[in-house]
């Protein structure tokens, strides 16, 4: 049976330990040492760890005090988002020398579609190598890359030879690559899902492939269809150069747990201020306000309210968030509050784009038997 894939050459570029590497680049005293970006106190959380720290088991999202236990020499560094953003812009400008089809996922990773590219280079692998060399020479940091026929496989492949490496999965290697893949390496399969898959006897791509669409639907709901297709090398999501924002949010973790709504009002005001500032900066407005509450026992609760009109004004955001706070009694003391605005006025523009793209001619597909230079 011949599988048909749209002919695409996708590169996923992922910076190596980006926040930590920037800190080490900017301060030579930190080079070669185990460092964590984030807070080291009782309430601190690691947001990134250098490779030296990772050897001790220090990971992002780990509590700062646990990280210090694992690695007593660990040096904590404050995050500097302005600096990350500045460096991220330099890296992106390198990407744009090759293609305009660049979809950033965050400050430190992006998809590039180089099927047709500005250099007229038929080899996506060589383009990835050149981009990584330029990032090293012009910015001073190392990056890893994955190269394949779709975003899913490129993303998985970029993890393969980290740090400072790349992996190409050619069209004819795709199916074998996916069959051998550990289920935990599948992008979109988190910790909870992989535990569930293990219980169902699914450990590799091959195990997953042997399950029917009905079976996956039954056990994984909507995601079942996604797993069914990606393991067969089918993932037709295009590289979208200007991803539409779905929501804007801000949140704060408190140094002491707050037990009364009264203490939270001032905090809410600061958060509403920040959300409003971001809305103004992004020139968007939204209709749905969501209040996020994380309790001291780490349970999470969200409360939402949708208005009949678009807002971006601080006072209305704050009033709505207050209503949501008082909507029901708090079930415990609170360690984090967040406000997000979704249902943004960018969505209607997106719908027009969708109807336009539906009129586009489908891309020709190519069977894997054909040699295709990667």
Q: Please tell me the least confidently modeled range out of 188-197, 299-308, 359-368.
A: 359-368
Q: Are strands 300-311 and 334-344 parallel, antiparallel or unpaired?
A: unpaired
Q: What is the pLDDT of residues 312-338, one digit of tens each?
A: 889 999 999 999 999 888 888 999 999
CATH number, domain 18-81, options 3.40.1170.60, 2.60.40.420, 3.40.350.10, 2.40.110.10: 3.40.1170.60
The answer on pLDDT for 361 being more than 50 is no
Instruction: Exactly one of 52, 103, 109, 274 is catalytic; name it.
Output: 109
pLDDT category, 290, cuts 50, 70, 90? very high
Instruction: Assign a CATH topology to domain 247-344.
Output: Dna Ligase; domain 1 (3.30.1490)
Per the rule left: phi > 0, alpha: psi between -120 and 50, beta: everything else, 59 is: beta
User: What is the arrangement of strands in the sheet containing 286-295, beginning at the earlier edge strand?
Assistant: 247-258, 334-344, 286-295, 300-311
Nearest to 268 by CA among 293, 300, 240: 293
Residue 109 is a catalytic residue:
yes
Instruction: Assign a CATH topology to domain 175-239.
Output: DNA polymerase; domain 1 (1.10.150)
pLDDT category, 263, cuts 50, 70, 90? confident
CATH architecture of 4-17+82-170: 2-Layer Sandwich (3.30)
Q: What is the CA radius of gyration of the chain?
A: 23
Q: What is the mean pLDDT of residues 85-104?
A: 95
Q: How far apart are alpha carbons 283 and 308 in whole angstroms?
A: 19
Q: How far apart are alpha carbons 345 and 339 in whole angstroms?
A: 18
Q: What is the pLDDT of residue 278?
A: 87
Q: What is the pLDDT of residue 350?
A: 42
The answer on pLDDT for 276 being more than 70 is yes
The answer on pLDDT for 358 being more than 80 is no
Helix axis angle, 222-230 to 213-220, nearest 10°: 140
The answer to whether the beta carbons of residues 344 and 246 sit under 8 Å apart is yes
Q: What is the pLDDT of residue 3?
A: 53
The answer on pLDDT for 244 being more than 70 is no
Q: How far apart are alpha carbons 306 and 343 in whole angstroms?
A: 8
pLDDT category, 193, cuts 50, 70, 90? very high
More confident of the two residues 199 and 245: 199
DSSP state of 33: S
Q: What is the mean pLDDT of residues 198-214?
A: 97
Distances (CA, A) of 355 to 348, 349, 359, 360: 11, 10, 7, 9
Domain residue ranges of the chain, discontinuous segments joined by +: 4-17+82-170, 18-81, 175-239, 247-344
Q: What is the pLDDT of residue 347?
A: 55
Q: What is the pLDDT of residues 35-81, one digit of tens each?
A: 999 877 777 889 899 999 999 999 988 999 999 999 999 999 998 88
Q: How far apart are alpha carbons 169 and 103 in whole angstroms?
A: 20
The answer on pLDDT for 288 being more than 60 is yes
The answer on pLDDT for 360 being more than 70 is no
Q: What is the pLDDT of residue 323?
A: 92
């Amino acid at each position: 049976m011949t599988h048909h894939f749209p002919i695409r050459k996708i590169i996923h570029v992922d910076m190596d330990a980006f926040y930590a590497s920037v800190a080490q680049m900017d301060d030579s005293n930190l080079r070669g040492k185990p460092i964590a970006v984030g807070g080291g106190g009782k309430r601190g959380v690691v947001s990134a760890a250098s490779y030296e720290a990772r050897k001790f088991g220090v990971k992002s999202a780990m509590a700062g005090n646990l990280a210090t236990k694992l690695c007593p020499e660990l040096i904590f560094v404050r995050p500097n988002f302005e600096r990350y953003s500045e460096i991220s812009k330099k890296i992106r400008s390198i990407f744009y020398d090759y293609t305009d089809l660049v979809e950033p996922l965050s400050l430190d990773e992006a998809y590039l579609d180089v099927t047709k590219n500005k250099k007229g280079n038929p080899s996506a692998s060589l383009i990835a190598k050149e981009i990584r060399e330029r990032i090293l020479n012009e910015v001073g940091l190392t990056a890893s890359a994955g190269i394949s026929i779709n975003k899913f496989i490129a993303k998985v492949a970029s993890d393969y030879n980290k740090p400072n490496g790349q992996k190409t999965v050619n069209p004819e290697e795709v199916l074998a690559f996916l069959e051998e893949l550990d289920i935990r390496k599948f992008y979109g399969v988190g910790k909870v899902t992989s535990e569930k898959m293990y219980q169902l006897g699914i450990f590799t791509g091959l195990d997953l492939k042997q399950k029917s669409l009905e079976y996956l639907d039954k056990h994984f709901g909507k995601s079942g269809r996604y797993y069914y297709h990606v393991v067969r090398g089918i993932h037709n999501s295009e590289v979208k150069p200007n991803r539409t924002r779905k929501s804007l949010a801000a949140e704060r973790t408190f140094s002491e747990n707050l037990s009364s709504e009264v203490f939270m009002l001032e905090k809410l005001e600061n958060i509403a201020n920040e959300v409003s500032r971001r809305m103004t900066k992004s020139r968007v407005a939204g209709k749905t306000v969501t209040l996020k509450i994380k309790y001291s026992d780490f349970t999470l609760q969200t409360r939402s309210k949708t208005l009949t009109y678009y807002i971006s004004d601080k006072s209305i955001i704050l009033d709505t968030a207050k209503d949501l706070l008082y909507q029901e009694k708090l079930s415990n003391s609170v360690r984090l509050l967040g406000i997000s605005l979704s249902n943004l006025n960018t969505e209607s523009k997106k719908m027009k784009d969708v109807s336009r793209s539906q009129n586009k001619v489908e891309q020709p597909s190519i069977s894997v038997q054909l040699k295709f230079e990667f």
